[in-house]
Structure 1
Amino acid sequence: MMWISEGKKSPMVGRFYPHVVGLQYQIRSGQKYSLLADSGWVSVLPPVESILVTIGDIAQVWSNGKFKKVRGRAVACLGEGECRCISMSLLVTLPIDSTSRVGPLVPISAVDGGHDVDRNDRDDDDGGDQNLNGKSDGEKEGRLFKSFSLEDYAWRVYHERLFLKDPLDRYRFN
């Protein structure tokens, strides 16, 4: 998905789209970008002729929270100052269809045909219902996010009216 903005001020967008990585480039200007992170609005000033790379919500889920996302695309000229620039934003995302599901990626070495490869963390006497740290096999050990349909999530995020509320909160394990 790509946006090209030209003018004195970029439009403030209230709608976001789930993405993996965002790339932002400004032509003829070294203006600040405003980014919406979980902690609120953050301003950054990238070097001239550079590409600003941001991590999206899909990458945050895939990394199980290791990476922190930026919601939507970076917005140039959010402040009241004079700004004349052309900016291009490219959001790398997944195809939206009914079979696409997003969830934390499990290392291949951790799973072997649905069973844990490392059997040292299992207590063989209890029939495999619980591992040594007390979690049942049904719980997603170490996972911060539940798997979810990308199509449903994209619709919800795009139509969300409270853009300061984190849309991933509903998919977190408590």
Structure 2
Amino acid sequence: MADKAKDGETVIIKKYANRRLYNTSTSSYITLDHLAQMVKDNVDFKVIDAKSGNDLTHSILAQIIMEEESAGEQMLPTNFLRQLIGMYGNSMQSLLPGYLEASMDYFRENQAKMRKAIEESIGVNPLAQIAQRNMEMFTAAAAAFVPQGGKAEEANEGDSDELDALRKQMADMQKKLDELGK
């Protein structure tokens, strides 16, 4: 479903009295699940009351969070929710939205850095390389024993060479494992 009228434009969602949501860019009715997916896809949207024109985006996003929390694995700890509720009416209430937004931005930035560091470390980690080679050998070995095209075929000279190469790789890996174990 194309949720954007044009790149960078805010999609207008109208909420009617019967609680139905209407995507004006696709001319179709949608659900909260669609809106949740739009958030995940970084589609900017604004929910407005069809009758009054009031902006309902904040309350709709809160409703999506509540549905996510009740339907799946909870992300917001109970203690955090208690503290958040306790901040309403507090003199620091006006500072909290900016703080939470900055914290989430910082978290997302670090999440991307962490993912990149893990991916890079796999390349230099000898155990990860061994595990990757094991998987490659397992796949090759399984392919050697699975009949091709549903018929059992006799092993040809190429298959014999592959098995010899696999045996040599396994022996090399055993040596490396023995060295690591020392």
TM-score normalized with structure 2 length: 0.24
| Higher share of residues assigned strand | 1
Q: Report the structure number with the largest CA radius of gyration.
A: 2
